[in-house]
Amino acid sequence: MPDAYPRYVIPPYILRRIVDRGSLQQQRCAQNTLSHVQTLMAHVPGRPAAPHVTTPGLLERDIYDAGQTQDLPGTQVRFEGQPSNGDVAVDEAYDYLGITHDFFWKSYQRDSLDNRGLKLTGSVHYGHEYQNAFWNGQQMVFGDGDGEIFNRFTIAIDVVAHELSHGVTESEAGLIYFEQSGALNESLSDVFGSLVKQYQRQQTADKADWIIGEGLLAKGIHGKGLRSMSQPGSAYDDPILGKDPQPAHMKDFVHTQQDNGGVHINSGIPNHAFYLAASALGGFAWEKAGYAWCVITLWQKTLIFQPLPGSRFAMAKNVLAKRSLMPLLKPGGASEWCYESCRS
């Protein structure tokens, strides 16, 4: 995989809200996390070659304990096939890395994140009350949260899958992490994060909650999660965190210099488009809308904020026809309707 900036699940604007509105302890935790995020975002270190497996579809996981330090990867505490050590964060990381790998392999015949058998590595207990989780281009890293605003970051399978999916986008699409392309980058991770959760629960589109970060907000915080794909802007409304700022429509696109041009904010637009498409098609979203989204937005390296070039449109039509998904591309169909809602 090429070098890339770390991708975080908690955007800087949320951490800044906590610094402005939280208690002294909450402010300290948020400021420490924010400072660390800004430091890492300012540097893109070269990385050693990541380990791979040679058998297609073979799952290999390594889980490490950072011991509340910021030294990676930490001490190995569980490897592939090893039983639980009794640490819930270790078990959640191990299980959710496995389910995400299983999802990509069985649903899309994708051999790990890079399609070349990348070994999946995760480190838990990163930092002291660290309020984030991130993909650093080579492995997953999970903080424990402070227990007052955020719970441990391994608690939500959609957060784990979201961050891992940045590895997929990184190896396929080369989306610049800024403004519209950055928002699409974040949205693709939300889409895959939600689909992995639905896949785990075997939920059809109409039964899914379409919430990203379910269970991540601590007791007492007024919210369902970090983002809502079905109703962007409604995930939380809290005295400390403020109100969820995501728009659902291109006419409400937020122009800002923060958050790399609002990548975690404007991702609500393609998120909602995907939700509409998945709801219109029904059934298991990863089999229909999810496959179409991969073809149109990721594997063909086409931005949903731009018209599809003719050759790629024809290619997508051919693939979708084989999957009996042509209604997505017909006039008035779900995809055209959703794309138009994004652009108009």
List, for residues 91-124, the tens digit of each pLDDT value.
999 999 999 999 999 988 889 998 899 999 999 9
User: pTM of the predicted model, to two decimals?
Assistant: 0.87
Distance CA 60, CA 66 (A): 20
- Closest residue by Cα to residue 165 from 187, 183, 150: 187
Q: Which CATH number is associated with domain 7-172?
A: 3.10.170.10
Q: What are the two backbone dihedrals, phi and then psi, of residue 308, each rounded to the nearest 5 degrees?
A: -70, 125
Cα four-point dihedral sign 304, 278, 93, 228: positive
User: Domain boundaries in the chain?
Assistant: 7-172, 179-343
Supply the DSSP symbol for 50. P
Q: What is the Cα gyration radius of the chain?
A: 19
Assigned CATH for 179-343? 1.10.390.10
* Section 174-188 average pLDDT: 87
Q: What is the pLDDT of residues 301-330, one digit of tens each?
A: 443 333 434 444 454 455 455 555 555 444
Percentage, residues of the chain above pLDDT 90: 61
Q: Is the pLDDT confidence value at 75 over 60?
A: yes
Residues annotated catalytic, as ranges = 163, 264
User: What does the pLDDT average to over 175-201?
Assistant: 92
- Confidence at residue 42, expressed as pLDDT on a 0 to 100 scale: 64
DSSP 4-15: ---EESS-HHHH
The predicted structure's pLDDT at residue 172: 80
Q: Which of 295, 293, 267 is nearest to 278 (CA)?
A: 293
